[in-house]
Amino acid sequence: MAKAEFGTPKYLSKQMKLKGLQKLKWYCQVCEKQCRDDNGFKCHIRSESHIKRIANVGKSDIENYSKQFQDNFISQLRNYHGEKSINANRFYNQLIQQKDHVHLTATKWSSLSQFVQDMARKGIIKAEITDDSDQSLSGVDISYINNSGDEAMRKALLKKKDDAERGDEAMSSMLLQQQIKRDQILRKVETHEEEDIEPAAEPSKPIKITLGGTKKHDSSNFKKANAFKVSKPKKTNVFKS
């Protein structure tokens, strides 16, 4: 089938269709050719040019594609999201929007989940399962781990600053507790001194209340008291006849 000439409506329609994102399984990384359907992809892999290029592909080429995909994946994750977590599938869909990226099908990893597990095992990214019931990557969040020297120095300075602030807070709280204890001791001493200065209160005596008349005097005592009195002589009238 003859190709459409440049500038013709058929050529423009094909170019417009190629601008859209096609299925990745119909893309040939070696030939850098995107096919629009399964039939076109089968025809391409049977072509003589594709067979010749595939024959020259070795392990070094696959390692090169794998390194390019890994570098692009990690750089995009670091630049656009930093150390913030994002869903693995969502980020991968953002990554493949660029048509010139190296496809995962040309690398040594057979799936995205295998790639994520490998990167997490190497300590390059952090993978966390957000939904235990979902075993697919839709329930896995990934985040970049910054292991550079500048980042390590920055974290060390932040940790040192936090430790210093915690030490100052501990020192201030300790001084406050000591001051509170000192005030309590002074209050106790002042209360004891006041108690010593105040006179001791006399024990209250019971009050007796007598009902009825006055108390009768003892006649025997009265007689004893009168026994010591000297009786005066009686006066006699001598002129009495």
Is 21 a domain residue? yes
CA distance 106 to 26: 12
Average pLDDT per consecutive 10 residues, the chain (241 residues; last block may be shorter)? 73 68 78 83 89 86 92 91 89 84 88 91 88 65 79 69 77 83 81 61 59 53 50 52 46
Is 39 a domain residue? yes
pLDDT tens-digit map of 157-209:
778 777 777 777 778 888 888 888 888 888 877 777 666 555 555 555 566 66
Is 37 a domain residue? yes
CA distance 51 to 144: 39
Is 158 a domain residue? no
pLDDT reported for residue 241: 46
Q: Which class for 139: exposed (0-12), middle (13-18), buried (19 or more C-beta within 10 A)? A: middle
Give 49's contacts (C-beta < 8 A, 6+ positions apart). Answer: 31
CA distance 34 to 22: 7
Is 80 a domain residue? no
Is 46 a domain residue? yes
Is 40 a domain residue? yes
pLDDT reported for residue 73: 93
**Phi, psi for residue 107 in degrees, rounded to 5:** -100, 180
Is 1 a domain residue? no
Number of domains in the chain: 1
Domain that holds residue 47: 13-57
pLDDT reported for residue 74: 93
Query: Which ranges of 198-233 would DSSP assign to H, the alpha helix?
Result: 219-227
CA distance 191 to 204: 25
Tokens of 197: 């200065």
